[in-house]
Amino acid sequence: MPLVPPDSPLLKKTPVARKPAVARKKPAVKRKVVKKKKPLALEWKFAIVGLMLILLSPFYYGYIIKGFSSTWRWVKEWGQDPNYRTYSSFDIRIPKKHSIHGIDVSYYQGKIDWRKVKAMKEDEVSVKFAFIKATEGILSVDPYFQRNWREAAKAGIVCGAYHFFRPQKSGEWQAKFFLQTVKFEEGDLPPVVDIEQLNGVDPASMRKELQEFISYVEKKTKVKPIIYSGLTFYKDYLKGHFDEYPLWIAHYHQAKLKVSGDTNWFFWQHSDKARITGINHVVDFNAFNGDSTAFERLRIPKILSY
């Protein structure tokens, strides 16, 4: 094959004509059309503000919670006596037909935070009054009496003091010992004598000494003392003998105090297992037989020194 000279026109490349570049168009950006919201009418603004105030109000939530709690309690206590329902805070059932409630304490409850006792409340139930053990027999003073007597009153609880009676001891001497220990003041509850046992003496001798105690206390304070006893002891040994004196009767875990209508009772100790905030042991729980007017009338008026 003949060689082609390097400068031959056959070896020269013919330039290829290129198409002119076409400029690409950027896709058009679609703009969102924002529709202007119509302003809320003034009435709607007020309605929304009012609704927010209601929803954020603690009273609203209190009402809702209370309604829910009431409904749940109604379901939980289906079939139970509606006048003797359980109060979970106090861990006992409480008769509903009484509006004034209280406790009684002694050294057994130990050191008590009376401010917490006063603050405790479930529905309409709270501790309004407290009976505090002061003395026993002719020699024994409750070691927590002075502290309880002072601190309970400071917390705003109406106080009463009681003496644990020993029938084999002189009633008059026990009364003197009691009044030497307790200084009753205006607004206190009347003095209380706690009689629960015969301690080996016959019923007549017990009643004789008890009458001496009561007579001495009444003479010195010008106030009728309250007699405390269990229902059975009262029926067996006291009924018909001290009917002119106000009674405080112990009768546990019942919807109603089972005494005759003419019984002169003012207080009912209906439970010995209550749980109270500020007290580390179970405590007796009591109901007053009357309204707030009757309760105020029972309290000691201005008392002369004795």
Residues belonging to the active site? 104, 196
* DSSP structural state of residue 139: T
Collect all residues with Cβ–Cβ distance below 8 Å to 96 and sequence separation of at least 6: 82, 83, 84, 85
* C-beta separation of 282 from 261 below 8 A: no
Helices first, then strands: H and E counts in the chain: 8, 12
- The encoded tokens of residue 173 equal 């001497």
Torsion of CA 158, 225, 94, 275, to 10 degrees: 60
**Helix H segments across 77-202?**
114-119, 145-154, 171-181
- Of the candidates 211, 192, 193, 189, the residue with the CA atom closest to the CA atom of residue 303: 189
226 touches 247 (CB < 8 A): yes
User: How far apart are the C-alpha atoms of 80 and 220, rounded to whole Å?
Assistant: 48
* Closest CA relative to residue 234, chosen from 205, 272, 260, 273: 260
Neighbours of 31 (CB within 10 A): 6
Residue 57 corresponds to which amino acid?
S
Give me the helix-helix angle, 42-56 and 58-76, nearest 10°: 50
The candidate with the shortest Cα–Cα distance to 264, out of 229, 292, 299, 236, is 229
